[in-house]
């Protein structure tokens, strides 16, 4: 049987994982918008960002803070320090995502948003 502190620790870890997935998706969405909308008459549309990239971004956004949370709880044992470690890991993960991942851009300026 679990104690209330075990339950609250588990709930906090799950909340951090959900927050991480939402933050990663919000950081991913503006860069992926041009591929989802396409250019003029949908010429540059590439929906593979929804099938390949989005699940990976959500999974990474959920697992990075959860892993940092679990490791910090196990080694340090202080929940407030684990929250700081999870938020720092999420911030580094989102920064890495924005530095590394660049979706395919339209081939020429004529295919942007509108004329």
DSSP string, 43-87: TT--THIIIIIHHHHHHHHHHHHHHHHHHHHHHT--HHHHHHHHH
Which residue stretches of the chain have pLDDT < 70?
1-5, 39-44, 103-115
């Amino acid at each position: 049987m679990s104690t209330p502190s075990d339950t609250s620790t588990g709930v906090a870890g799950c909340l951090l994982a959900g927050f991480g997935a939402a933050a990663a998706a919000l950081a991913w969405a503006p860069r992926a918008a041009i591929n989802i909308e396409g250019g003029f008459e949908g010429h540059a549309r590439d929906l593979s960002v929804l099938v390949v990239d989005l699940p990976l971004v959500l999974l990474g956004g959920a697992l990075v803070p959860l892993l940092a949370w679990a490791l910090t709880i196990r080694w340090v044992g202080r929940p407030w320090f684990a929250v700081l470690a999870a938020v720092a890991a999420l911030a580094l993960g989102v920064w890495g995502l924005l530095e590394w991942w660049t979706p395919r851009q339209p081939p020429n300026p004529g295919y942007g948003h509108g004329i």
